[in-house]
Amino acid sequence: MACDSIVVHMDSSRQATQRLALAGRLAMAHACPLIGLYAGFIPEPAWCYRMENAQRYFEEDMARREAVREAVRGHFLARTDALPVAAEWRVPECASVASALREAREAGLLVAAQYDADSGGGTDGRHLLEALLLESGRPTLVVPFSGTFETVGSRAVVAWNGSREAARALHDAIPFLAGARAHILCAHTAADNARPDATPVAHAARLLERHGVAVEIEHGPGGTDMTVGELILTRACDFGADMVVMGAYGHGRMRERVLGGVTRTLLESMTVPVLFSH
């Protein structure tokens, strides 16, 4: 199995270079196109209409944003020029989450950034990340905003609770786990324990073994969302994992969705890339 395309979210954050390098290595490993997706959001100008010299301020702000976008574009092109795969730069027609999602749904894999509260990006970065996880329909590899990651998928912790989301994440991760070692952590929250359709962890182990993955299974104690999330992070450290695989969980419908507790815990405290699927 191979990934047919990789879309990496590009911005002006301090972590963009590391994220692009990781996405480039994956694109080379799978001999697939690498697409840089820039999603810079333009604020609603109505708020500044009452300001003195509002028109000049708005024009200057737009010019600044355009300069940032061109700088990121130049960075992407410079870093991908020597790659032995096709590289493409894309900017959605409209600076909105909906436009970014339309582009993202083409991807075999999305590579996105953990939200960094200190990046100065306001709430736009958080909204985009949550939309990619819950609304893109594509597996999303979220890269921590600090650290370096030379390998991804050689040692993976797979979070398993027998749900649809867990199964989707497991299947989506297969192309990135060839010849890997996997620690399957079977841990249930109170809500998971009530599922009558939960698939046994042995099924997940068989799937991985059919693809040449060396598997070990742990039945965790379970508990609250936060407890399970912290257990996943602890096992990732104990196992020396370079990737975590898990379903992304949300509540509600469409734009009213909010992330589930385990998902949010991983997003806030991850130390290695996490492949989410919803």
> Which residues of the chain carry a pLDDT beneath 50?
253-257
Q: Which CATH architecture has domain 6-143?
A: 3-Layer(aba) Sandwich (3.40)
CA distances from 214 to 179, 242, 257 (A): 7, 15, 36
Q: Do domains 6-143 and 155-277 have the same CATH topology?
A: yes
Strands 274-277 and 140-143: antiparallel
> How high is the pLDDT of residue 70?
95
> How high is the pLDDT of residue 258?
54
Q: Is 174 exposed, middle or buried (0-12, 13-18, 19+ CB in 10 A)?
A: middle
d(CA 260, CA 118): 23
For the chain, the domains span 6-143, 155-277
> How high is the pLDDT of residue 13?
86
Query: Candidates 1.10.357.10, 3.40.50.2300, 3.40.50.620, 3.30.230.10; correct CATH number of 155-277?
Result: 3.40.50.620
pLDDT, one tens digit per residue, over 246-258 is: 998 775 544 444 5
pTM equals: 0.90
Contact, 42 vs 13, CB < 8 A? no
Contact, 167 vs 130, CB < 8 A? no
> How high is the pLDDT of residue 261?
86
